[in-house]
Structure 1
Amino acid sequence: MMSTTQNLLKELTEESVVTRKMLQRIPADQQNWQPHEKSMSVNKLAGHIAELPGWISMILQTEGLNFADQAYTSPVWNTDSELLAILEKSLAEAKAALENAKEEDLLPIWTLKHGDQVLMSKTKGEFIRHSMSQIVHHRAQLGVYLRLLDVPLPGSYGPSADDPNF
């Protein structure tokens, strides 16, 4: 039977294949496109997706995050190779953190705040799971962006409607 950390590592590894395929589809000339004025641009959304695995190591190494203490800045990238380098770096950090984590490391409470307002407070294990859900959520958002830009989508958990063999 696999431990929780081994299961999380396995899921992260499997999801990274789909994430990588999706990020590789971004047209270079559409990085500034956004479907709505309140939506992130393709560039910001893709950068956020690429950095999200890094939250896993942050969660394991800290007691929480207060957005009021540090303003969020999106990773800067201009080329596919720069975007994929951000992803690979954050994946490597996450994998190393999970490989070194013990089951008891998942039990302490981790708190996400904005100033004095507690946004969420869960165990580190629950927050890691939440971070992985955020990767999938934002990757699906990117899929909608790409569909609106008429970019063929890769399959995620099976073939895509854009797969010629589908």
Structure 2
Amino acid sequence: MELIQSLLKEMEQEAQTTRKMLSIIPEDKFNWQPHPKSMSIIRLATHIAELPTWVSMVLTTEELDFATAPYDPKVINNVEELLAYFEASLADGKAHLEKAKLSQFDEKWTLRNGDDIYDVSPKGEVIRMAYCQIVHHRAQLGVFLRLLDVAIPGSYGPSADEEFKVAVVDTPTV
């Protein structure tokens, strides 16, 4: 059960940073996007908030087929709803992970769109990919917010917007 405990710990650690990022999104910028090919801030944030449910989906299904299950994102109207959605997604993902059996992690899981197969991987790898997606999209959100001059919280240490002290050691000159 060491692997499952490790994944649960990582999920909670990443959730702390995700909460900070989602909580600072200016509601008046929900529809802003840095480029026409980019998602809007709210679309990106909603995707980040739902990603913990991928753990549940992977553990309870054999595949996701976009042809038979088209994506229908939840409509979010404010930061409070966004954070509540994230917390519900996180609780769902954790609950399924807590009940998981290690043998499930070796079972194959498929991502497809009809006959087009994008990926077939062990469920354990897909769960790790979902975690990576959270970090990846959270970083995208950080860039979007930086472009709007929103102060960014630290992720794995202080950000450039947070005050931190660097120890300066006097070195003798020769």
TM-score bin, normalised by smaller chain: over 0.9
CA distance in 2, matches of 1:47, 1:73: 11
Residue 46 (1) aligns with residue 45 (2)? yes
Question: AA paired with 2:120?
Answer: S
Percent identity of the aligned residues?
Answer: 57
CA distance in 1, matches of 2:126, 2:148: 33
CA distance in 1, matches of 2:3, 2:66: 28
Question: AA paired with 1:159?
Answer: P
Q: Which residue of 1 aligns with 2:8?
A: 9
Question: What secondary structure is seen at the aligned counterpart in 2 of 1:70?
Answer: coil
Question: AA paired with 2:130?
Answer: S
Q: Which residue of 1 aligns with 2:109?
A: 110
CA distance in 2, matches of 1:165, 1:11: 25
User: Would the aligned equivalents of 1:3 and 1:103 in 2 still touch at CA under 8 Å?
Assistant: no
Deviation at 1:146, TM superposition (A): 0.3
CA distance in 2, matches of 1:121, 1:49: 23
CA distance in 2, matches of 1:117, 1:64: 13
Question: What secondary structure is seen at the aligned counterpart in 2 of 1:83?
Answer: helix
Deviation at 1:131, TM superposition (A): 0.5
User: Would the aligned equivalents of 1:44 and 1:75 in 2 still touch at CA under 8 Å?
Assistant: no
Residue 160 (1) aligns with residue 140 (2)? no
Q: Which residue of 2 aligns with 1:18?
A: 17
Deviation at 1:70, TM superposition (A): 1.7
Q: Which residue of 2 aligns with 1:59?
A: 58
Post-superposition Cα deviations, 1:126-152, rounded to whole Å, max 9, x if no partner, equal: 000000000000000000000000000
TM-score (norm 2): 0.93
RMSD: 0.9
Structure 2 stretches lacking a partner, 5+ long: 166-174
Structure 1 stretches lacking a partner, 5+ long: none
Q: Which residue of 2 aligns with 1:89?
A: 88
Deviation at 1:165, TM superposition (A): 2.8
Question: AA paired with 2:26?
Answer: P
CA distance in 1, matches of 2:105, 2:85: 25
Q: Which has the larger radius of gyration?
A: 2
CA distance in 2, matches of 1:27, 1:129: 30
